[in-house]
Structure 1
Amino acid sequence: MLARRYLRSRRSERFVSLISWSSGIGIAIGVMTLIVVLSVMNGAAVEIRDKILGFSAHVDIQGPDDALGEWRSWLDTANGLPGVVRAAPYISAQVLATSGSRAIGAILKGVDVGASDEIATHIVHGRFINHEGSPFQVVIGKDLAHKLGLEVGEKVRLMSPSGGVSPSGATPRMRAFEVVGIFDSGFYEYDVGMIVTPLSAVQLLNRMGDSITGIEVFISDRDQAGSVAAEARASLPPGAWVTDWQQRHRSFFRALKTERMAMGVILSLIVMVAVFNMVASLVMVVMERRKEIAILKTVGATHGSVMRVFLLMGCLLSGIGTLLGSALGLLLAWKLDVLLEWVENMTGVKFMSGDVYFIDHVPSVIDPVAVGVIIIGSLLMGLLATFYPAWRAAGVPPAEALRYE
């Protein structure tokens, strides 16, 4: 009762009460900002990971050389690994894609048509490559199609630097491919720089015979890619080069994690500033209530009971601010995509450009663990910050405070 009463302002104490409640509002803003920013950064990490793994194998197996000749026994070994959903051969080569006067460097990826469902599901125009007709057919990303001015059914010329040797020196190989489909992976790097074609087409273009670049392995639980890769190294012949997706992109995801932690620490300063503001406001309340505290102590209030009054005041301020900020932060993080879409439509400003970032929108994924840590941390900071004003209040000497009354 006393804690609630002291938080309400009388006419002569409105300024002190305003400072007290402003500290609670500051805590709410800090908690809300932390939840939204960490949700966006967590969503970006999840989104980028899903986009990368949408077109990338969980485990990649390559031979000791650039090309792998006797690969069929390796494929059988890969299919026998625990947790493997499928394994398929692939070829990856650098090419120059030209259409008219336009030319762009890209990765030509030869795949097993029957084992590339992850690419076929992203086709937005046309169809996926098949075994019917000529093998020289491709599907390309939507951004690459836009830059080259290509539509489904048109021809794109691919020039490979893996050419032969003529009397005039090394000569590249060039071949016209039919564009049968356009895919949209949602990952700009793939959409602007990848061309997919049947395995046999790349082998014919580069005169590789039956050789391949490596074997892609997809597993049911991608978080177990490290253990599957370790078992593949033990099962395959010496010289096999086996990497998993966590190893290939370790630096990138480590940088994202470090950035997320640094952003959390920096934004926590907003909560700390509000907490220090609350300390100052509670000290002012103690100075305003010296006479009332002295009267309470003369009628029997103990040192601990006076401390509890002001501890409850701090807990009420920090608790209300934390709960309000958590509710607003969760609501904003939940509907962030809708809000940003409305702002983009109103202002015409694009917040995330696929030309600059890996993704073309602002994702938001709420992490319950992070939200719990933010709430508990905010409440603890508020509680710890209240001890000094409570100690000051309990230490008010009644005789000195009431000497001139």
Structure 2
Amino acid sequence: MLARRYLRSRRSERFVSLISWSSGIGIAIGVMTLIVVLSVMNGAAVEIRDKILGFSSHVDIQGPDESLHGWHAWLDTASRLDGVVRVAPYISTQVLASAGTRAVGAILKGVDPANSSEIADHVVQGRFIKTDKSPFQVVIGKDLAHKLGLTVGDKVRLMSPSGGISPSGATPRMRAFDVVGIFDSGFYEYDVGMIITPLSAVQRLNRMGNGITGIEVFLKDRDQASAVAAMAREQLPAGAWVTDWQHRHRSFFKALKTERVAMGVILSLIVMVAVFNMVASLVMVVMERRKEIAILKTVGATHASVMRVFLLMGCLLSGIGTLLGASLGLLLAWKLSDLLEWVESVTGVTFMSSDVYFIDHVPSVIDPVAVSTIIIASLVMGFLATFYPAWRAASVPPAEALRYE
């Protein structure tokens, strides 16, 4: 009762009360900002990981040379590994794609159409490649199609540097392919630089015979990629080069994690500033309430009971601010994408351009562990910051405070 009463302002103490409540509002703003920013950064990491793995395998197996022959035994060994859902051979090579007067460098990836459902699901125009007729057909990314001015039904010329050797030296090979589909992966690097075609088409273009680049392994639990890769190294012949997605993109995701931690530390300073403001405001309250504290002590209030009053004041301020900030932060993080889409439609400003960033929207994924950590840390900081004002209040000498009253 006393803690609530001291937080309410009288006419002569409105300035002190305003400072006290402003510290609670500062805590609310800090907690809200922390939750929203960390949710956006967590969402960006999840979104980018999903986009990368949408067109990439969890474990990649390659031979000691540029091409792998006699790979069927390797395929059987990989398919028997624990946690493997499916395996598929692939070929990856660089080509120059041209249409009319336009030419763009790209990655030509040869796949087995029957084992490439993750790519087929992203086709937005036309259809996915088939092998029932001519194998020389491709699906290309929407941004690459825009750069080359291609639509479904057009032809694109692909020139591969891995053609062969003639009396005049190395000669590239060129072939016209039919564009049967356009895909949208949501990941700009893939949409602007990848071409998908049947495995046999790349083998014939590069005169590889039955050779492949490697074997893609897809797992039931992608987080077990490192363990499955270790098992593959033990069971495959010597010279096998096995990598997993966590190793391939380790630097990138480590940088994202470091940035997320650094941003959390920097934004937590907002909460710390509000907490120090709360300390100053509670000290001012103590100075304003010296006479009342002295009267309480003369009628029997103990040192601990006076401290308890001011500890409760600090806990009320930090608790209300934390609860308000967490509620607003969770609501804003939940509806952030819809809110930004509305702002973009009204203002015409694009916040995330796919030409600059890996993704074309602002994702937000709420992490319960991060939210719980923020709330607990805010409450603990608020509680610890109240000890000094409470000690000052309990140390007020009654005789000195009432001497001139």
- For residue 404 of structure 1, give the secondary structure of its aligned residue in structure 2: coil
* 1:220-274, Cα deviation, whole Å (9 max, x unpaired): 1111111111111111000000011111111111111010000000000000000
Q: Which amino acid aligns with 2:366?
A: I
2:384 paired with 1:371: no
Q: Which amino acid aligns with 1:373?
A: T
| Matching residue of 2:333 | 333
Within 1, Cα distance between the matches of 2:83 and 2:170? 45
2:170 paired with 1:166: no
2:189 paired with 1:189: yes
Q: Which amino acid aligns with 1:13?
A: E
* 1:47-80, Cα deviation, whole Å (9 max, x unpaired): 0000110000000000011100110100011111
Match runs of 1:79-94 below 5 Å = 79-94=79-94
Moved beyond 4 Å, runs of 4+: none
| Matching residue of 1:248 | 248
- For residue 128 of structure 2, give the secondary structure of its aligned residue in structure 1: coil
| Matching residue of 1:274 | 274
Within 2, Cα distance between the matches of 1:102 and 1:318? 62
Within 1, Cα distance between the matches of 2:149 and 2:311? 68
| Matching residue of 1:385 | 385
Within 2, Cα distance between the matches of 1:398 and 1:360? 66
- For residue 285 of structure 1, give the secondary structure of its aligned residue in structure 2: helix
- For residue 383 of structure 2, give the secondary structure of its aligned residue in structure 1: helix
| Matching residue of 1:17 | 17
Shift of residue 394 of structure 1?
0.4
Within 1, Cα distance between the matches of 2:368 and 2:400? 51
- For residue 195 of structure 1, give the secondary structure of its aligned residue in structure 2: strand
Within 2, Cα distance between the matches of 1:38 and 1:153? 45
Within 2, Cα distance between the matches of 1:89 and 1:60? 10
Give the gaps of 5 or more residues in structure 2.
none
Shift of residue 163 of structure 1?
2.4
Shift of residue 171 of structure 1?
1.6
* 1:148-178, Cα deviation, whole Å (9 max, x unpaired): 1100000001111112222332221111100
- For residue 185 of structure 1, give the secondary structure of its aligned residue in structure 2: coil
Within 2, Cα distance between the matches of 1:139 and 1:301? 81
Q: Which amino acid aligns with 1:298?
A: T
| Matching residue of 1:107 | 107
Q: Which amino acid aligns with 1:353?
A: S
Shift of residue 83 of structure 1?
1.1
* 1:126-162, Cα deviation, whole Å (9 max, x unpaired): 0000012111000001111111110000000111111
TM-score w.r.t. the length of structure 1 is: 0.99
| Matching residue of 1:219 | 219
Shift of residue 211 of structure 1?
0.3
Q: Sequence identity of aligned pairs in percent?
A: 85
Match runs of 1:3-402 below 5 Å = 3-402=3-402
Q: Which amino acid aligns with 1:370?
A: A
Within 2, Cα distance between the matches of 1:173 and 1:125? 28
Q: Which amino acid aligns with 2:168?
A: S
**Number of paired residues?**
405
Q: Which amino acid aligns with 1:231?
A: M
- For residue 76 of structure 1, give the secondary structure of its aligned residue in structure 2: helix
Q: Which amino acid aligns with 2:222?
A: R
- For residue 314 of structure 2, give the secondary structure of its aligned residue in structure 1: helix
Within 2, Cα distance between the matches of 1:119 and 1:110? 12
Q: Which amino acid aligns with 2:389?
A: P
Shift of residue 99 of structure 1?
0.8
Within 2, Cα distance between the matches of 1:351 and 1:177? 37
Aligned-CA RMSD value: 0.6
TM-score w.r.t. the length of structure 2 is: 0.99
User: Which is further off, 194-203 or 159-168?
Assistant: 159-168
Shift of residue 13 of structure 1?
0.3
- For residue 150 of structure 1, give the secondary structure of its aligned residue in structure 2: coil
* 1:19-45, Cα deviation, whole Å (9 max, x unpaired): 000000000000000000000000000
Give the gaps of 5 or more residues in structure 1.
none
* 1:299-357, Cα deviation, whole Å (9 max, x unpaired): 10000000000000000000000000000000000000010001101111100011111
Q: Which amino acid aligns with 2:33?
A: T
Within 1, Cα distance between the matches of 2:174 and 2:288? 87
Within 1, Cα distance between the matches of 2:361 and 2:291? 59
Q: Which amino acid aligns with 1:269?
A: L
Shift of residue 398 of structure 1?
0.5
- For residue 365 of structure 2, give the secondary structure of its aligned residue in structure 1: coil
Q: Which amino acid aligns with 1:100?
A: G
Within 1, Cα distance between the matches of 2:368 and 2:339? 22
Within 2, Cα distance between the matches of 1:164 and 1:224? 40
- For residue 159 of structure 1, give the secondary structure of its aligned residue in structure 2: strand
Within 1, Cα distance between the matches of 2:24 and 2:163? 70
* 1:372-397, Cα deviation, whole Å (9 max, x unpaired): 00000000000000000000000000
